[in-house]
Amino acid sequence: MQSYRPIQNNLTSPTPLPCVSGSSSRSISMALPRAPRALFFDVFGTCVDWRTTVSHALDAQSHIALNSATTSLATAVRMRASNMTSAHWGDFAQQWRNTYKAFCHSLAADPSLPWKTVDEHHLQSLRELLVEWKLEGLWTDEEVRALSLVWHRLEPWSDSAPGIRALNMVFYTVTLSNGNLGLLADLKAHGSLEFTHLFSAELFGSYKPSPKVYLGAAEKLGLAGRDCAMVAAHLGDLKAAKSNGYMTIYVERAGEEDWSQEEVEKAHSEGWVDLWISLCDQGFIAVAEELGIEFKGSVQVKRSASTAH
């Protein structure tokens, strides 16, 4: 048995890729059309559970403000915040997330729009939502700024860290997120997510689903799109990656898919998703096993072609 050994390298600079040896290559080709050289990961929702972390942070900070002996709140704001349940804060978090998706799509579609980082967007949109929800003044400007950075400390899904460590045995594991590099570095450290490279859409001057991002990421590693696979919990991301030559790995995550059930079923039947990991499977651990890495307790070993399924 062979235990995994994480690849140590510069997190942004391309370096020689690991080779996929004979038996591993045959195992991978049973799950994918061909053996990829690098796996690119969407992050929000795919690697980390943004919804739980953000909702809990909003709810907790609201209670702190309401119970503070030194905070003076307008009566209307106090009443409004006092009536907010955890479910309401969950709706607030979802709306915050929706503004992010609209922001990324608008910049991807119109390169003439002024550039803004995801951190800048999160702060601006939080301020706007507080006005919209009639909660302006619940927190000081400094507290709003601090809360906007909750996206830097999102908790990973339980399978994310061990799955990535195992996949590092054979592939480069690379973030390909619209999140800015500082945000991704914090998520990597917070969640012990041992990606071999951190790539952000900002490196390529656009946001997903712009082709610039997928093509630029492959080129930065000296690869063609056909040598890459995109791992995501969002079919829209995967469809864009597929149109740029990537193989696709869909990892279902609770509450993450924007497409309707009918659209999901159509995508499944059309077969353009090369590897589909269902919600009842173990996420990235299932991905690793499908790609020829076997989990035995805390030890992962490369699996021979004879034991691949």
- In angstroms, the Cα distances linking 100 to 94, 96, 126 are 10, 7, 10
Q: What is the pLDDT, as a whole number, of residue 69?
A: 82
Cα(8)–Cα(283) distance, integer angstroms? 24
Looking at residue 24, what is its pLDDT? 52
Contact 276, 268 (CB under 8 A): yes
Looking at the structure, give the CATH architecture of the domain made up of residues 38-47+156-291.
3-Layer(aba) Sandwich (3.40)
- 201/203 Cα distance (integer angstroms): 5
pLDDT at 294: 80
The contacts found for 201-204 with CB under 8 angstroms, 24 or more apart, are: 201/104, 201/176, 201/177, 202/117, 203/12
Enter the pTM of the model.
Answer: 0.88
Do the Cβ atoms of 171 and 38 come closer than 8 Å?
yes
Asked if residues 173 and 196 have their Cβ atoms less than 8 Å apart, the reply is yes
pLDDT along the chain (309 residues), means of 10: 35 46 56 94 98 98 93 93 97 98 96 94 98 97 98 98 95 97 98 98 96 98 97 98 98 96 96 96 95 70 39
In 3D space, the residue among 227, 222, 226, 210 whose CA is nearest the CA of residue 176 turns out to be: 210
Instruction: Check if the beta carbon of residue 45 is closer than 8 Å to that of residue 233.
Output: yes
Q: Which H, E and C letters describe the chain, residue by residue?
A: CCCCCCCCCCCCCCCCCCCCCHHHHHHHHHHCCCCCCEEEECCECCCECHHHHHHHHHHHHHHHHHHCCCCCCCHHHHHHHHCCCHHHHHHHHHHHHHHHHHHHHHHHHCCCCCCCCHHHHHHHHHHHHHHHCCCCCCCCHHHHHHHHHHHHCCCECCCHHHHHHHHCCCCEEEEEECCCHHHHHHHHHHHCCCCCEEEEHHHHCCCCCCHHHHHHHHHHCCCCHHHEEEEECCHHHHHHHHHCCCEEEEECCCCCCCCCHHHHHHHHHHCCCCEEECCCCCHHHHHHHHCCEEEECCEEEECCHHHCC
Domain assignments of the chain as residue spans, ordered by start: 38-47+156-291, 50-152
Residues 130/138, Cβ–Cβ less than 8 Å: yes
Which pLDDT belongs to residue 14?
42
